[in-house]
């Protein structure tokens, strides 16, 4: 866990018709890409796990933020329940408890 900033992503903005979640998420990814070494962890759970699949429109940006030191963590249970374990393209799997631990113990946390 990177400790300073944890961002929880619980919503699937991919299928959203208005695109507001996608726009917000793009802005956050762009901000993280502005750092040489970003002290952040992105936690994906619930419907938010769909951002990590091969079909995600932001998968390239997610791969890029990893090269800037951002840790990406996905809830294993959520991925399994959605049948997406084989479609995960970036990040690592963690327990629900670990995802909650990251969000509770980060210096700053936010949820989208």
Q: How confident is the model at residue 1 (pLDDT cuts 50, 70, 90)?
A: low
pTM of the model: 0.91
Tokens of 94: 């963690």
Tokens of 40: 């952040």
Rg (CA), the chain: 13
Largest CA distance in the chain: 35
- Cβ distance 14 to 22 under 8 Å? yes
Secondary structure letter of residue 111 according to DSSP: E
pLDDT 10s digits, 5-58 = 999 999 887 766 567 778 888 999 999 999 899 899 999 999 999 999 999 999
Q: How many domains does the chain have?
A: 1
The whole domain housing 80 covers 5-111
The CATH number that applies at residue 55 is 3.40.1260.10
- Cβ distance 74 to 91 under 8 Å? yes
The sheet that has 92-94: what strands, in order across it? 92-94, 71-75, 40-44, 5-9, 108-111
Please list, in sequence order, all residues whose beta carbon lies within 8 angstroms of the beta carbon of residue 97, skipping any fewer than 6 positions away.
none
């Amino acid at each position: 866990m990177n400790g300073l900033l944890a961002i929880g992503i619980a919503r699937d903005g991919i299928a959203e018709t208005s695109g507001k979640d996608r726009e917000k998420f793009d802005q956050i990814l762009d901000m993280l890409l502005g750092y040489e070494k970003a002290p952040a962890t992105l936690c994906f759970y619930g419907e938010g796990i769909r951002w990590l699949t091969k079909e995600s429109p932001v998968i390239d940006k997610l791969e890029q933020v990893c090269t800037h030191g951002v840790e990406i963590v996905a809830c294993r249970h959520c991925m399994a329940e959605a049948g997406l374990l084989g479609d995960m393209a970036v990040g690592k799997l963690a327990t629900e408890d670990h995802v909650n631990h990251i969000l509770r113990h980060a210096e700053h946390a936010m949820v989208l």
